[in-house]
Structure 1
Amino acid sequence: MLKIGLTGGIGSGKTTVAKVLEVLGVPVYYADDAAKQLMNTNEALKQQLISNFGKETYFENGELNRKHLAAIVFNSKEKLALLNSFVHPATIADAQEWFSKQTAPYVVKEAALLFESGTAEGLDYIIGVTAPLTIRLKRVMNRDHVPAEEVKRRMANQIDEQLKMKLCDFAVHNNEQQLLLPQVTALHNHLLQKAKEATL
């Protein structure tokens, strides 16, 4: 079974590509969603966050106070790095457990910070989803209802788009000019062939 990474800058459309792959029958692990869930369910992780970011990090019902945490980490690279140093190991362990239960020819791990977190190690191939900055800005502003400055601040926490794409084995161009579905379908068939070759 091949392990494939799927990444891209904020607003690139990597989740859209992941959803297409799911429709094609590929199991997808959404690392960002898993991280959010683990911050609510993993007791050891919760205690680390409370110790470092205050008891206000969680509401009285035990749910994560996202606004409180975001206000701290998105204004400080050091605090964001600290948060990631707790969340990434928990997510990596969770992903490994998920991988061990899969039986498909290939599986996909979708993660925004695939390279930044060091979780690209151990993956067979990496797909990068790319889109022009203007399109990415517009998408995130519309999706999250935030101003351009906020989106740019989030983007600053990710490695440069061009550098990220150079580190990837395959590229999907989600630029509203090239059709997305034919690109993903062709890549899916290519990866199925690669998975078949790996078993020979």
Structure 2
Amino acid sequence: MIVGLTGGIGSGKTTVANFFEDLDVPIYISDTEAKRLMNVSPEIRREIVQLLGPDSYTSDGLNRKYIAGKVFQDNTLLQQLNAIVHPRVAINFANWYKQQDSPYVIKEAAILFENGGYRDCDFMILVTAPMQDRISRLKKRDQSSEEEIRDRMDAQWDDAKKTALSDITIENSILEETKRKVLRIHNHLLLRITNNW
């Protein structure tokens, strides 16, 4: 079973994914794998440089700040970048999935709804958090300005649109409550899988 885990930037998807990982559920973090592929694949690198210019990479690898500054101001560029990266991530996930043998896996991705990836999932979990919490988390994590954060948020669907397509929503404000909800969802999924067998 493939369980999709998504949520707006700064909602705390990684925290929720970590709670599932503590329960021995295999986790695929799409954003981490996308960045890795963007760094290691010569084909992806060449296509990104063609799209966004040579400043897309520094001697240390992917220039995330430069790329974010370009694509979150221009939706066409963002779609073109996604068209380069997402098909490769999908192949990478499919290969990873074949190697797993647990009752279910978590596929964590920020834009599972926006890119249509949710259609390949058997169950969808949406993580939400109050806007101000999300902004302060991102300021701390990325040292981004509020304007940069809002640009990135504007590139994603709003929570109301995602909620309509989700099987369950986790409001991620109080960590202990989030952890308890993850355990309840885990038990529900195991029961559902057992009953289907």
What is the TM-score with the length of structure 1 in the denominator?
0.93
Q: How far did 1:100 drift? A: 0.8
Runs of 5+ unmatched residues, structure 2: none
Question: What is the distance in 2 between the residues matched to 1:137 and 1:176?
Answer: 16
State the AA in 1 paired with 2:181: Q
1:42 aligned partner: 41
1:76 aligned partner: 74
1:92 aligned partner: 90
Q: How far did 1:57 drift? A: 2.0
1:57-80 CA distance string (max 9 Å, x none): 22356x222233222212211111
1:24 aligned partner: 23
Q: How far did 1:38 drift? A: 0.5
Check 1:188–1:88 CA distance in 2 against 1; reply closer, same or farther (3 A cut): same
1:145 aligned partner: 143
Pairing partner for 1:125 from 123, 128, 145: 123
State the AA in 2 paired with 1:12: S
Check 1:177–1:102 CA distance in 2 against 1; reply closer, same or farther (3 A cut): closer
Runs of 5+ unmatched residues, structure 1: none
2:173 aligned partner: 175
Question: Which 10-residue stretch deviates more, 143-152 or 17-26?
Answer: 143-152
1:8 aligned partner: 7
What is the TM-score with the length of structure 2 in the denominator?
0.94
Asked whether the 8 Å contact 1:27–1:104 carries over to 2, the reply is yes
Q: How far did 1:133 drift? A: 1.3
Structure 1 vs Structure 2: percent identity of aligned residues?
40
Asked whether the 8 Å contact 1:130–1:165 carries over to 2, the reply is no
1:56 aligned partner: 55
State the AA in 1 paired with 2:171: H
Aligned residue pair count: 197
